[in-house]
Amino acid sequence: MNIGTGQQQVKAAEPMGFPVAPAYGNQDYPPDMIILLQKLEEDFANKTIDQWSYINRREEIIKLVNRLKEKKNNIQLQPEQLEDILLPRKLLDFNTFAKQSLMSILRERAAAYKTEMAFLVLDSRGKELHTISWESYT
């Protein structure tokens, strides 16, 4: 006999030692993999796939997540792949730095990166209306 006012909560089993769907909210799993795992859980719960298909697909997704983690941890940053700096690197005297105007900063940037785009003007939909290159500041 079941006497009680609340509903019983059923805990989902953790197949193959992997966490179940609510645990996917952490940063260990990319959002697209979380969605794949949740859909896989739904398919298994709705009995659209059998147990072995569920286990095999889940293992493949977890292996893919682990490979992505390994790649992410092994990335070596190359200096030429980093973002360009606003000003060329040089030692500045802090007394004269305060006197430097925004236009002089933009002029130095324009001298270093003439052909690159400086500003993009977009409309409300994000469509590009105008582009301004650094050449116009030289």
Q: What is the pLDDT of residue 93?
A: 67
Cα radius of gyration rounded to whole Å, the chain: 27
Two structure tokens written together for 116: 């690159």
Contact at 8 Å (CB) between 55 and 15? yes
Q: What is the pLDDT of residues 105-125, one digit of tens each?
A: 778 888 888 888 888 888 888
Contact at 8 Å (CB) between 86 and 113? no
The residue behind tokens 């940063």 is 27
- d(C-alpha 86, C-alpha 99), whole Å: 17
Mean pLDDT of 12-23: 46
Q: What is the pLDDT of residue 59?
A: 92
Q: Which residue has better confidence, 19 or 49?
A: 49
Q: What is the pLDDT of residues 33-92, one digit of tens each?
A: 888 889 999 988 988 888 898 999 899 989 988 888 888 777 777 777 676 666 656 666
Instruction: Name the pTM for this structure.
Output: 0.38
